[in-house]
Structure 1
Amino acid sequence: MKQLLYILIVLCLVGSPFSACRKAYETVPLGQQITADLAFDPRDSLGKQAMTYLLTTYQQTFYSGHNRIGGNYLDAASDDAVASASGIPAVQAMATGAYSATLTNGDDIWSRSYAAIRNATVFIVNINQVPMIEKLPNGQPARAAYRSEARFLRAWTYFQLIKRYGGVPLMGDSIRQITDNIQLPRASFSDCVNYIVSECDNIKDSLRTAAMVTPNTYGRITQGAALALKAEVLLYAASPLFNGGNIESGNPLTGYTSYDANRWKLAADAAKVIIDGGAYKLMPNFNDVFITQAAPVGPNTEIICWMQVGSPDNRVEQSNAPVGYTSAGGNGATSPTQNLVDAFGSDSGYVITDPAAHFNANDPYAHRDPRFNLTIFHNGSLWLNRQVQTYNNGLDKPGGTVQQTKTSYYLRKFMGAFESVSNNPPSYSGTYHDWVYYRYAGVLLNYAEALNEFSGPSTDVYNVIYALRKRAGILTDAGNTYGVPQGMNQQTMRNFLRNERRMEMAFEEQRYWDLRRWKIAAQVYNEAPLRGIDLQLSSSGQLFYNPIQVLKTVFRDPQMYLYPIPYSEVIKNTQMQQNPMW
């Protein structure tokens, strides 16, 4: 059986390494790969074994964010959601500070990351001895592109580490064995940022452009991914947590030791390169961003870098759909908070506290930002030919011991465009649930934030918001302002952009990190409990919306702005310095 699987993988690689034989390559177990001697055979002119190794490295590096933290989205460890499960799920432990250097949290990625870095380095060091004859559409050797893909995976992994831990050991191109006694100090945060940015600069010209991607090379890392990674790294480096707000003044491991406003300009300039390149554009429909594949396989013009999760299926729906939809297998794992619901404005673009929004507390879901209905299921949402019922004893909040919403809301985002059918129970087709790391809307938001922080509101900053709101379907007026206040100062624009980002990027593993890099997590987590509603339906059919508290979150300031280095790493490496207060 193993031999048959290996043959299937190799046959896949001959023609379509990332698309045609999706199921075959995804069944390669993590940690099992062919040896370096076999993978990098100087006689293998097609590089088939080397490609098997690279595909495995992709799989070991990338992870899907769908319900990845103990069955929940990372956002359920922020103020945007809570886990519906009883007990203390992993995300709840994270949201309440129930972890330490010895009791790691559900997002600890240290060991996995260094294993992925080593595997990528093995490919980087050895691929040049394989005489691959393949060429890219522009005539340049494909081998250089594949080597740059591995360098991207390594750089991306380092970024995942530094945003969690600060400066980390940089391994370079050394390939150490598991038996080696590795005593390496952590590199400074600045050195790590410079290394990642340098890698992105060095590989971008040898990677495929978006225009070079064919159905046979679908899913490969492209030039756009390298540019997006560079822009995001520079945005984080410019953000308050690391740039001027170092949690331990003078400690180069936990951030820069002085503030530099020019870091915001570097971040803005990096994002502008992608915008000016014109390779990507916003999708006309917000929901289609998450359920359609990228060009040239699909019509998606917005996604830049993503993880292929598999063939069309219903796993996201089964995990997160309202529990009353037994035909969909709804398990209702995620309960969005009232805090997030209140962040969505009206369909005319005004915040709900603005009289111009005409918000009606007795009909609170009417005339809201269209992204709201594509992100959150609320009472009355239409799905699979019936309305969602989240009032007490409704179909989707039945009470008892079954897992169900704690807030009267369920996650809607990432779910497919379902068939409208009349049979009972209704059916629906499978949907692509590829996990998107970088998309054009995020690049626009990064650009607007960095530009505003460097030089204040400008026409470019306003135009980003207009573009996102126009695509969202926000109504506009004669001035085409989409409800955006005019004449904002830098602080007002900062708050406005942060809320726009919260709406646009909900459940995409942005909010959790944004609260930290903006250095407002202590305020948000400790200020007030997370909220929901207790929805009652009277015998006369009237609904009563009663606010409730669902979770008191905890954030130890400044300790929790960075994760602790795992205790096992500290005790085996005498040069490994622990993060402050851990």
Structure 2
Amino acid sequence: MKTTYKVFFAAILIVSTFNACNKLDRLPETELTDNTFWNTESDLMNAANRMYQQLAGYTIDNRADDNVNQGGLNQVSNGNRGVPGTSDDWRVPYQHIFTANNILEKGTKAQVSDAIKNRYFAEARFFRAYAYFNLVQKYGNVPLILKTLGVDAPELSMPSTERLLVVQAMYDDLDFAATWLPTRAALPALQYGRVTKSAAWALKARIALNEGTRMKFFGIADYQKHLQIAIDASTQVMGQGHRLFASYQGMFTHDGEGAANTENVFVKLYGGTSAIGLVHNTSRDLENGRIAPTRNLIRMFLYRDGLPAFNTDNSPSASRSPLFVNEAAETSYNTILDNRDPRITTLVFRSGEQAYQRPWVPGTSLGSRSAFAAKKGFNAQDWTTNNNSTVHKPLIRYAEVLLTYAEAKYELNETISDADLDLSINLIRTRAGLNVRLTNAFVAANGLSMREEIRRERTVELSLEGFRYGDLIRWKTAESVLPKALLGAKYNAVEWVGTLPATLVLNADGVLVVEAANNRAFNPLRDYLYPVPLQEISLSGNNIKQNPNWN
């Protein structure tokens, strides 16, 4: 049964939006406060509420190979992006950092106990780390600003800070947050949606896994330190009483909302649980093909016998399930979906299954360029009210924490025990209904790679949740994966009612080619980092340097 917990996130004016044209958006504060504010716990809570409002929620991420958008080629995945003059990828996180820094400075005036102050300072430091991780993932070295700045502050022209120093600052922020935030169990029901110790540890684990694996595969020393941090932080979360929600599909519907679902470690609230009435349009985005899964993603799902057909880089696997049907021999749209890991039924609608307005008929006319109809996150009751979806957005799930634990454990020494697999990946498989345990014996007997199977589990479980591009970057596999063609459904004239093959690009197997390989590119000497916006370099007096090979 759905349980709704009302949290009223009050909008306040004193920590509002800031001019996008100022240096690095590290704008010096103006007269945004008065002597009547920053006095009570309520003031601190209301100030902190601004950070929750600033959170990005449901967004569309078509940068990788797992899904395509309704329009044309993506400039990131086709290698044609240039250096922007300005970019929200840089500007918006610095706005959020300013909000956090403002709270940390102004909040010291509050006439409350240190414990109360530190609880809200902990929230500010959590969100500051969250913003810096968004920056570091894209840009690497970025200016580290831990205070608000005056108009003549020298930091406005500072160069970028070395990545590892920024990462350490994130760790420090999250250690403080984990010390002072309440536990999940101690959080009052009316405060559901506010960050807890679990959220701080989970974010630290996410950052540490990203840094540890990136350093390992780029040949940078001391990666082990970060992998151990990821293990330790994940272990802390695993001791907090979180459980996987009973239904994988329900996790992304109204059924999965509320404090009773402890898989939600950190969520963005929408609808009736938010005083500002936030809504999104995800169900309509799915219907209109703005998020259309590719065959490249579907290939990564195991068969029900626990064996694959393709690897996570979309190359054929050495050992193939006997349930695999060669793509040339597929007789229908549904063939590739048959006998798979049950999570495939959450990812896409089958041909003939009741979908958005009616049973799904394969084709591209509605908007899906792959002809696959995305199902994950679709809610029929929200679909009927265009642009008024209110399902909460999971930002950190317990399943991700378990996957982080397993991957960090393996990558630290390139081995993992069956006991650790049972604590992590096999819990996820059991929830999904895939009744084949991942064990060292199963991997050896079937000529599989443990690394590959751990990565596969992550890709499948977190599909369409915005992780794929970042994973390819940190694994250093983007250069081999992203230039490959993106493929869609198998064409069948009987099923594709009203669609003529002459209107499609099909390969030799009769499979829809969504984006040909010659339209996709990834430059490994340049594209592992984003280009720094030109305005930020200029406003720093050219002290901020452009990332390699973007000049």
TMscore range, shorter length: 0.7 to 0.9
Does the CA contact (< 8 Å) of 1:209 and 1:222 recur in 2? yes
Distance 1:540 1:50 in 2: 57
1:410 paired with 2:373, answer yes
2:491 pairs with 1:535? yes
Shift of residue 427 of structure 1? Answer: 9.8
For 1:427 and 1:44, how far apart are their aligned partners in 2?
40
Change (3 A) 1:214 1:554: same
Contact 2:79-2:522 at 8 Å conserved across structures: yes
2:276 alignment counterpart: none
Write the letter of the residue equivalent to 1:130: A
Q: Which amino acid aligns with 1:368?
A: R
Q: In 1, are the aligned partners of 2:184 and 2:240 still within 8 Å (CA)?
A: no
Q: 1:214: Cα distance to partner?
A: 1.8
Q: 1:44 to 1:273 in 2, by over 3 A?
A: closer
Query: Which one-letter code corresponds to 2:393 in the other structure?
Result: W
| 2:94 matched residue in structure 1 | 114
* Aligned residues of 2:417 and 2:440 also touching (Cα < 8 A): no
Q: Partners of 2:256 and 2:12 in 1: how far apart?
A: 19
1:190 aligned residue? 164
Code of the aligned partner of 1:556: N
TM superposition shift of 1:576 = 0.9
- What is the CA distance between 1:181 and its match in structure 2? 7.4
Cα shift at 1:45: 4.9
Partner of 2:203: 229
CA distance in 1, matches of 2:115, 2:256: 24
1:527-561 deviations in Å (ceiling 9; x for gaps): x21111352233999x9982122113211112000
Query: Residue in 1 aligned with 2:261?
Result: 300
Matched, 1:571 2:538: yes
Match of 2:295 among 330, 335, 338: 338
Structure 1: 5+ residue stretches without partners: 1-17, 134-139, 247-255, 322-330, 392-396, 420-424
Q: 1:387 to 1:349 in 2, by over 3 A?
A: farther
Pick from 518, 529, 547 the counterpart of residue 562 of structure 1: 529
Stretches of structure 2 lacking an aligned partner (at least 5 in a row):
20-28, 274-278, 311-319, 502-508
Q: Which residue of 1 aligns with 2:149?
A: 175
CA drift at 1:298? 4.3
* Residue matched to 2:218: 245
Return the offset for 1:524: 0.3
Equivalent in 479, 489, 494 of residue 522 of structure 1: 479
- Tell me the distance in 1 between the aligned counterparts of 2:85 and 2:120: 38
- Distance (whole Å) between structure 2 residues aligned to residue 100 and residue 84 of structure 1: 22
Match for residue 152 of structure 1? Answer: 126
Tell me if structure 2 keeps the 8 A contact 1:288–1:300.
no
Q: Give me the identity figure in percent.
A: 25
Q: Which amino acid aligns with 2:235?
A: K
CA distance in 2, matches of 1:206, 1:20: 21
Residue 458 (structure 1) shift:
1.5
Residues 1:357 and 1:183: Cα distance change in structure 2 (over 3 Å): same
TM-score norm. by structure 1 comes to 0.77
CA distance in 1: counterparts of 2:270 and 2:173, whole angstroms: 26
Give the aligned residue type for 1:472.
Answer: A
* Cα distance, 1:314–1:438 mapped onto 2, change above 3 Å: closer
Change (3 A) 1:188 1:41: same
> 1: distance between equivalents of 2:381 and 2:309?
30
Indicate conservation of the 8 Å contact 1:235/1:267, yes or no.
yes
Offset at residue 143 of structure 1 (A): 2.5
Find the counterpart in structure 1 of residue 283 from structure 2: 317
1:6 corresponds to which residue? none
Shift of 1:79: 0.4
Structure 1 equivalent of residue 336 of structure 2:
364
Q: Does 1:433 align with 2:397?
A: no
Of the three residues 443, 462, 474, the one matched with 2:421 is 462
Matched, 1:268 2:206: no
Q: Matched residues in 2 for 1:308 and 1:43: separation? A: 26
Asked if 2 retains the 8 angstrom alpha-carbon contact of 1:293 and 1:432, the reply is no
Which of residues 511, 519, 527 in structure 2 aligns to 1:547? 511
Aligned to 1:96: 78
Q: Is the 8 A contact 2:440 2:450 kept in 1?
A: no
1:373 to 345, 360, 366: 345
**What is residue 58 of structure 1 aligned with on the other side?**
52
Amino acid at match of 1:192: V
Tell me the SS of whatever aligns to 2:546: coil
Shift of 1:580: 0.9
Residue in structure 1 matched with residue 250 of structure 2 by the alignment:
288
Q: 1:452 aligns with which of 381, 393, 410?
A: 410
Counterpart in the other structure of 2:135: 161
Would the aligned equivalents of 1:19 and 1:219 in 2 still touch at CA under 8 Å?
A: no
Question: Tell me, what secondary structure is at the counterpart of 1:93?
Answer: coil
Q: Secondary structure at the match of 1:282?
A: coil
C-alpha distance in 1 between matches for 2:495 and 2:160: 64
Question: Separation in 2 of the partners of 1:214 and 1:537?
Answer: 57
Measured after TM superposition, the shift of residue 48 of structure 1 is: 3.7
Rounded Cα–Cα distance in structure 2 between residues aligned with 1:539 and 1:102: 44
Q: What is the alpha-carbon distance in structure 1 between the residues aligned to residue 459 and residue 48 of structure 2? A: 35
C-alpha RMSD of the superposition: 3.6
Q: Specify whether residues 472 and 298 from structure 1 end up closer, same or farther in structure 2 by C-alpha distance, changes over 3 A only.
A: same
User: Normalising by the residue count of structure 2, what TM-score does the alignment of the two structures yield?
Assistant: 0.81
Equivalent in 130, 151, 176 of residue 110 of structure 2: 130
**Deviation, structure 1 residue 102:** 2.9
SS in 1 for 2:51: helix
- Alpha carbons of 1:124 and 1:262: their partners in 2 closer, same or farther (altered >3 Å)? closer
User: CA 1:409 to 1:484, structure 2 compared with 1: closer, same or farther past 3 Å?
Assistant: farther
Mapped partners of 1:21, 1:532: distance in 2 = 43
Letter in 2 for 1:560: D
Q: Which amino acid aligns with 2:77?
A: A
- Give the AA of the match of 2:513: Q
Give how far 1:314 is off: 7.3
2-structure distance, mates of 1:484, 1:388: 41
Residues 291 and 431 of structure 1 are in contact (CA less than 8 Å); yes or no, is this contact kept in structure 2? no
1:374 counterpart letter in structure 2: T
User: Counterpart of 1:504?
Assistant: 461
Provide the rounded CA distance (Å) in 2 between the counterparts of 1:26 and 1:288.
Answer: 34
Is the contact between residue 369 and residue 514 of structure 2 (CA under 8 Å) also seen in structure 1?
yes
SS at structure 1 position matched to 2:92? helix
Q: Per-residue deviation at 1:383?
A: 3.2
SS in 2 for 1:306: strand
Looking at structure 2, the residues matched to 205 and 97 of structure 1 have their Cα atoms a distance apart, in angstroms, of: 43
CA–CA distance in 2 between the matches of 1:266 and 1:369? 31
- 204, 208, 214: which one pairs with 2:178? 204
Counterparts of 1:404 and 1:488 in 2: how far apart (Å)?
Answer: 43
| C-alpha distance in structure 2 between counterparts of 1:38 and 1:510, whole Å | 37
Aligned residue number for residue 471 of structure 1: 431
How far apart, CA to CA, are the structure 1 residues paired with 2:353 and 2:291? 16
Is contact 2:38-2:107 (8 Å) kept? no
**CA distance in 2 between partners of 1:491 and 1:115 (Å):** 46
CA contact (8 A) 1:268 1:451 kept: yes
Is residue 132–residue 170 contact of structure 2 (8 Å, CA) maintained in 1?
yes
- Contact 1:457/1:489 (8 A) holds in 2: no
Separation (CA, whole Å) in 1 of partners of 2:176 and 2:153: 32
Aligned-partner SS, 2:306: coil
Aligned position for 2:65: 79
CA contact (8 A) 1:293 1:299 kept: no
Contact 2:244/2:399 (<8 A) preserved = yes
Structure 1 segment 379-418 matched on structure 2, within 5 A? 379-383=351-355, 386-391=358-363, 397=364, 399=365, 403-416=366-379
